[in-house]
Amino acid sequence: MSVLPTVVKEFIVGDVQADRVVPPSGFTATLTTFAAGAMAFLAIFALALSLATGRLAARWGDDLAHSSTLRISAPEGQMAEQTAAALRLLKTTPGVESARALTAEEQGALLEPWFGPDLPIEDLPIPQLIEIQETQSSYDAAGLRLRLQGEVPGAVLDDHNRWRRPLEQAAGRLRLLGWVSILLIAATTATIITLAANAALAANAQVIAVLRVVGAQDSYIAKAFVRRFTLRALLGAAIGVVAGMAAVLLLPAAQPEGGFLTGLGFQGGSWLLPMLIPPLAGVVAYFATRHAARRTLSELD
């Protein structure tokens, strides 16, 4: 039970003699801390993108999956009759939970973003829209279209599939892009830390040679490098996460009229996910530095 705390304590406290091998400051120290901080900052936004697109795909799917629109175009004087006929037909259609004709004000509100608030709806031959809410089992779209052709020839059914599927596919690809970005950020962090560790080991080649003469094992020397670079990565990643979270908090809050770009943030328990980034950065730095130390020390033989 006491082994793990002892190992963690030794890793954090370190060995004073071994730590002298690793430069406490300088180019490699600054590079490691800055790289980990910058990559953590970018990872915050990649994570926010992935989560936001996931929410977006769910919202699009929920909004469009169980709703349809019926558009009626009829000659003057027949609009009310065909609208009433369509509503009667829909009420007897299995899978249709409710159907209602949109008012002139509601249709005007739909057109307002494109034509402005002063559009004379009553003077234009605008089709009548009927909003259809489906049950969980939905309805037979092909059968309903055949019935509409016979009873309401001016009606066109839109079941929203042609809108929903491309939107969900786009959201899914954006979410995948976010996770791929996180993997690339981790790979870039590992590469930069590996280069910094190699530079630090090469710069201290003479000190390492002296330590070997007095009996120091390569594992002892490598442990000092691994510890120092891992802690630097943890510190840099923590700073990057704090800066990234602050930047996310400054983004506009999610608003219906703002769409996707105003909802690029975290919600609920997802605010805890960024806390995983510093430990992950430390793990990446640990393995990258250990690999670099072993390889470089073997080349210095």
pLDDT tens-digit series, residues 198-226: 888 887 777 777 777 877 787 877 888 88
Residue 202 vs residue 12, higher pLDDT: 202
Confidence band of 237 (pLDDT split at 50, 70, 90): very high
Tell me the pLDDT tens digit for each residue of 78-128: 888 888 988 998 988 888 888 999 888 888 787 777 777 776 766 677 888
Question: What confidence score (pLDDT) does residue 258 get?
Answer: 47
pLDDT over 50 (residue 74):
yes
Mean confidence (pLDDT) of the chain: 79
pLDDT over 50 (residue 292):
yes
Residue 242 vs residue 269, higher pLDDT: 242
Question: What confidence score (pLDDT) does residue 34 get?
Answer: 92
> For the ranges 196-205, 241-250, 253-262, which has the lowest average pLDDT?
253-262
Confidence band of 26 (pLDDT split at 50, 70, 90): low
> How much of the chain, in percent, has pLDDT values that exceed 90?
13
Question: What confidence score (pLDDT) does residue 277 get?
Answer: 93
Residues 6+ apart with CB under 8 A from 32: 192, 193, 196, 229, 232, 233, 236, 285
> For the ranges 57-71, 128-142, 153-167, which has the lowest average pLDDT?
57-71
pLDDT over 70 (residue 184):
yes
- Helices 218-249 and 205-213 pack at an angle, to 10 degrees, of 140
Question: What confidence score (pLDDT) does residue 6 get?
Answer: 47
pLDDT over 80 (residue 193):
yes
pLDDT over 70 (residue 12):
no
Question: What confidence score (pLDDT) does residue 134 get?
Answer: 81
